[in-house]
């Protein structure tokens, strides 16, 4: 690790401790040349797969783009931001555990729909109507029937 002050490559770790609930390691370092101290953080870097769009174009995974599309579907819905962050975390975990370098955008869209269905049925229908490009009212009605709870028969 280069010293940020004198750019010397020889530094010594003085102290290491876990930070962010164990997701990060905080290291206190000392430069052996200029004796100045500085802090570094070490965290795992997981490579997200490349997203292959319908036309074959490849794009880097973008968490902000995913969040924006989910928030658009959830606009004016009573869903806390923490729940959205948790859903995005589950989507990313599934993408990572596939251990594939490339994932089709259709797969990502299905993961988003699954999470939106858990969070909010109206947001799910909004997202599905755009994602699946409904051609007519019957397709829309089918998705509504899918999320509507079965009515109990009267005795």
Residue 72 lies in a domain: yes
User: Does one domain contain both 100 and 32?
Assistant: no
Among 18-27, 71-80, 116-125, name the one with the lowest average pLDDT.
18-27
What is the C-alpha to C-alpha distance for residues 14 and 5, in angstroms, rounded to an integer? 17
Length of the chain: 155
Strands (E), the chain: 11-19, 24-31, 37-43, 50-52, 58-59, 102-104
User: Which of the 8 DSSP states describes residue 21?
Assistant: G
**pLDDT score, position 151:** 60
What is the C-alpha to C-alpha distance for residues 114 and 94, in angstroms, rounded to an integer? 12
Task: Give the pLDDT confidence of 37-60 residue by residue, as tens digits.
Answer: 999 988 777 788 999 998 999 999
Among 58-72, 80-94, 117-131, name the one with the lowest average pLDDT.
117-131
User: Does one domain contain both 23 and 92?
Assistant: no
User: Does one domain contain both 92 and 127?
Assistant: yes
Q: Please give the structure tokens belonging to residue 93.
A: 């975990």
Is the confidence at residue 134, as pLDDT, over 70?
A: no
* Domain of residue 26, residue span: 11-43
Residue 109 half-sphere exposure toward CB, CA atoms < 13 A: 15
Q: Please give the structure tokens belonging to residue 9.
A: 């490559």
């Amino acid at each position: 690790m280069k010293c940020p002050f004198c750019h010397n490559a020889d530094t010594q770790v003085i102290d290491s401790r876990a930070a962010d609930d164990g997701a990060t390691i905080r290291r206190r370092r000392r430069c052996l040349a200029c004796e100045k101290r500085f802090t570094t953080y070490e965290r795992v870097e997981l490579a997200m797969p490349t997203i292959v769009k319908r036309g074959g174009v490849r794009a880097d995974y973008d968490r902000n783009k995913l969040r924006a599309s989910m928030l658009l579907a959830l606009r004016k819905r009573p869903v806390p931001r923490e729940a959205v962050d948790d859903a995005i975390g589950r989507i990313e975990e599934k993408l990572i555990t596939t251990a594939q370098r490339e994932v089709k955008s259709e797969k990502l869209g299905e993961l988003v729909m699954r999470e939106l269905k858990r969070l909010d049925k109206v947001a799910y229908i909004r997202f599905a109507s755009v994602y699946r490009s409904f051609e007519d009212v019957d397709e829309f009605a089918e998705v509504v029937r899918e999320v509507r709870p079965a009515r109990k028969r009267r005795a």
